[in-house]
Chains A and B, each alone.
Chain A
Amino acid sequence: MEKPLEFCRGGGCTAKLGPAALKTVLQKIEKSNDPNLLIGYEGSDDAAVYRLRDDLAIVQTLDFFPPMVDDPFTFGQIAAANALSDIYAMGADFKTALNIVCFPENMSLNVLGSILLGGSDKVKEAGGVLAGGHSIADQDVKYGLSVTGTIHPDKIIANNGCRKGDALILTKPLGVGIVCAASRVKASSDEAMAKAIKSMTTLNKYASEIARKYRTHACTDVTGFGFIVHLCEMLNDRFSAVIFKDRIPFIPESEGYANEFYLTAAGQRNRNFAENRVLFADCPFAMQEILFDPQTSGGLLISLDPRDADAALRELKTLGLPCGIVGEVTDKLDKSIIIE
């Protein structure tokens, strides 16, 4: 009996390797001593930055994954928005992109065409150039982009530059992974999925441009490792953060879905990795799961001067997605993150 072709089998950033596995392997790889490599992978930062001149550096990143939605065009849009996101998390400007495609030989080429059109749609919106790509015959569909941008070396926003007293802003709602998991077993409402898709297809370009106008000290995009692990990376064992659970933006339906256990393996891996560093003071199970939920093309987590937080949030709200000032950076405490 031939297995039916399945386009979507629970992909997106839920398909990433777990943070613990990755850390073990990366620790063994020799680091480069080139002084022009301003940011490599040692700080678990979003993208690599290499200085070409005193006033110019290139920013490189790539990301690809299996589909998390059934519509190929939408998947292409999401994969592209997600791959571009690392560029925006660093505060860089997007220049060129190359497609990376894995595609089964026996699947309709129309599907591939739609994926690439979706990707190109987002690249165009982002104002860059799609310059080529590579494709590999594979059992499952995977798609993404290798992306190059530019930045002034003094203007790099690292993912771990936060300071004591900073306000933390999250620019997109959490719960995308849970909604997609529910959708895979046909248990999500159309409204919930529409909210997740709107969030996943929104470029972080606009939020990044707003962040750059203010005294932003650190920025990262929340993806497969979920809010908690990405925040741990930002705090970098030097600081702790107090998070106000009532101010976390999330897709409302994801709360009910979490209580129905539409939960991913990646969410559990995130929990295993970081649970010891978090104090959940009176935080219900569903909200814990939302905070560990792997996000595909998630929002930016911005650490900025608290005096700028209200003004920045007002501007971010005009982008039309749920967002909020979710917490503040404190001195290093016993736990890295305290959820209140």
Chain B
Amino acid sequence: MKKIDARGKQCPLPVIETKKALEQSAPGETVEVIVDNDIAVQNLSKFAVQKKMSFKSQKNSEGEFVVWITSGTAADTAAKESVDYCIPDSRRQGTVIVLSSDAMGNGDETLGKLLMKGFIYAVTKQDTLPETVIMYNGGAKLSCEGSESAGDLKNLEAQGVTVLTCGTCLNHYGLTEKLAAGSVTNMYDIAERLSRASLIIRP
């Protein structure tokens, strides 16, 4: 597998270097690209969709995203759907799931936690994944060590979903060192993502 480290390089360089590597690849060969921002991931996704190549991405940390694009794989269904909808990203753009508590619904606390665990598991099985999952206040506990949902959140992240937990909240609950899935974010980022969202889901 060819690997490109495009961190520190401005668009269009990550896409152009990836394109060159793919042109020199055998059909079916995968190129791995590391970039340092989400916009570069989106531009790579846009490229893959237009070229009808399969695309996968994963966020490792705030400044490190890994993208895999496979040359000559014309039949990727996710890419095809995106072309039809004119949405150039296989993660559905604009859908944000907000988890503001570790329990779902009002009533019995134990039941609420059980429901939340079930909800997050069910999200991982959906055909269309959200673009982002944001956790704050009591929701911050869900992405930390000891949470039964940490594995499901890691699963979402591996499928390209941006998983974010409010840093102030982690700090408040003394969980800063315990984050097990996704990365830490701040209120500016949360405000921007929520105001940009076309659909916000709050279970």
Contact-residue size bin, chain A (C-beta under 8 Å from the other chain):
20 to 34
Asked if B39 lies at the interface with its beta carbon under 8 angstroms from chain A, I say yes
Asked if A131 lies at the interface with its beta carbon under 8 angstroms from chain B, I say no
Chain B contacts for A36, CB-based, 8 A: none
The answer on a CB contact under 8 Å between A261 and B10 is no
Chain B contacts for A1, CB-based, 8 A: none
The answer on a CB contact under 8 Å between A261 and B93 is no
Chain B contacts for A182, CB-based, 8 A: 12
The answer on a CB contact under 8 Å between A263 and B196 is no
The answer on a CB contact under 8 Å between B195 and A261 is no
In the complex, the number of residue pairs spanning A and B with C-beta atoms less than 8 Å apart equals 65
Asked if A276 lies at the interface with its beta carbon under 8 angstroms from chain B, I say yes
Q: Give the interface segment out of B40-48, B59-67, B169-177.
A: B40-48
Report which of A24, A184, A272 forms a contact with B191, defined as CB distance below 8 A: A24
Interface of B is mostly: helix
Chain B contacts for A263, CB-based, 8 A: 11-12, 15, 43, 46
The answer on a CB contact under 8 Å between A265 and B40 is yes
Interface 0/1 of A247-272, CB less than 8 Å to B: 00000000000011111110011011
Chain B contacts for A275, CB-based, 8 A: 87, 93
Q: How far is the CA of A24 from the CA of B13 in the complex (A)?
A: 29
Shortest CB-to-CB span from B160 to chain A, Å, is 16
Asked if B16 lies at the interface with its beta carbon under 8 angstroms from chain A, I say yes
Could you list 8 examples of A-B contacts with CB < 8 Å? A24-B188, A184-B12, A185-B12, A259-B50, A261-B47, A263-B15, A272-B196, A275-B93
Binding site for B on A (CB under 8 A): 9-10, 20-21, 23-25, 181-182, 184-185, 187, 259-265, 268-269, 271-273, 275-276, 280, 285, 288
Interface 0/1 of B10-49, CB less than 8 Å to A: 1111011001000000000000000001011011001100
Tell whether A185 pairs with B11 under 8 Å between CB atoms, given A20-B195, A268-B42: no
Chain B contacts for A10, CB-based, 8 A: 10-11
Interface 0/1 of B174-193, CB less than 8 Å to A: 00000000000000100110
Shortest CB-to-CB span from A261 to chain B, Å, is 5
Chain A contacts for B19, CB-based, 8 A: 260-261
Chain B contacts for A21, CB-based, 8 A: 188, 192
Q: How far is the CA of A275 from the CA of B42 in the complex (A)?
A: 13
Chain B contacts for A269, CB-based, 8 A: 39
Q: Residue on B with the closest CB to A276?
A: B198
Q: How far is the CA of A198 from the CA of B150 in the complex (A)?
A: 56
Chain B contacts for A265, CB-based, 8 A: 10-11, 37, 39-40, 43
Chain A contacts for B195, CB-based, 8 A: 20, 23-24
Shortest CB-to-CB span from B88 to chain A, Å, is 8
Chain B contacts for A276, CB-based, 8 A: 94, 198
Asked if B75 lies at the interface with its beta carbon under 8 angstroms from chain A, I say no
Report which of A24, A262, A268, A272 forms a contact with B16, defined as CB distance below 8 A: A262
The answer on a CB contact under 8 Å between B11 and A264 is yes
The answer on a CB contact under 8 Å between B188 and A185 is no
Interface contacts beyond A24-B191, A275-B93: sample of 11 additional A-B pairs, CB < 8 Å, sorted by A:
A9-B10, A21-B188, A24-B188, A25-B188, A261-B12, A261-B15, A261-B19, A261-B43, A261-B47, A275-B87, A285-B50
The answer on a CB contact under 8 Å between A20 and B15 is no
Asked if B86 lies at the interface with its beta carbon under 8 angstroms from chain A, I say yes
Q: How far is the CA of A69 from the CA of B42 in the complex (A)?
A: 26
